[in-house]
Amino acid sequence: MAEYKELTVNPPDGVTAGPVSESNFFEWEALISGPDGTPYEGGIFSAVLTFPRDYPLSPPVMKFTCLMFHPNIYPDGTVCISILHAPGDDPNMYEHASERWSPVQSVEKILLSVVSMLAEPNDESGAHVDASKMWREDRAQFDEIVRQTVRKTLGL
């Protein structure tokens, strides 16, 4: 509840978020504006954050509900970034524990991390293999697919 109040009083640029309903604070809707200077620019992307019952000890799951093409977003829309990974050591030894979820994180930090992720994908740990490969090998085609996705999300 405190995080929701903070987001409504002092919202960060390019993001809005809040509970789907006043009776369920475990599911939030979010809207993220595509970062300027990226192929996502001009897009408005909808997502859902689903919080576990033991939040803030465990991270929420964030899933885009619109079409997305990005190396760190699974084809089903689920976001894959360090801040949303369970706390502790990474069993694959890719991430440091300090990069993963901790109870001091917030919804605002998650949303800002996702905006940053849109601008600067991590293609080394791709959730969407085709998008990761295209980001590395054919940036022009990647950008064109993203621009088409932006137009679709806007209904154009």
Residue 91 DSSP label? T
Which residues face 30 on adjacent strands?
17, 47
Q: Which of 15, 80, 134, 150 is the catalytic position?
A: 80
For residue 132, count CB atoms less than 10 angstroms from its CB and return exposed for 0-12, middle for 13-18, buried for 19 or more. buried
Q: Tell me the C-alpha to C-alpha distance, in Å, between residue 13 and each of 31, 50, 110.
A: 11, 22, 13
132-to-11, 42, 78, 98, 99 alpha-carbon distances in Å: 31, 22, 15, 24, 21
DSSP assignments along 38-64, one per residue: STTTT-EEEEEEE--TTTTSS--EEEE
Judge whether 80 counts as a catalytic residue: yes
What residues are labeled active site? 80
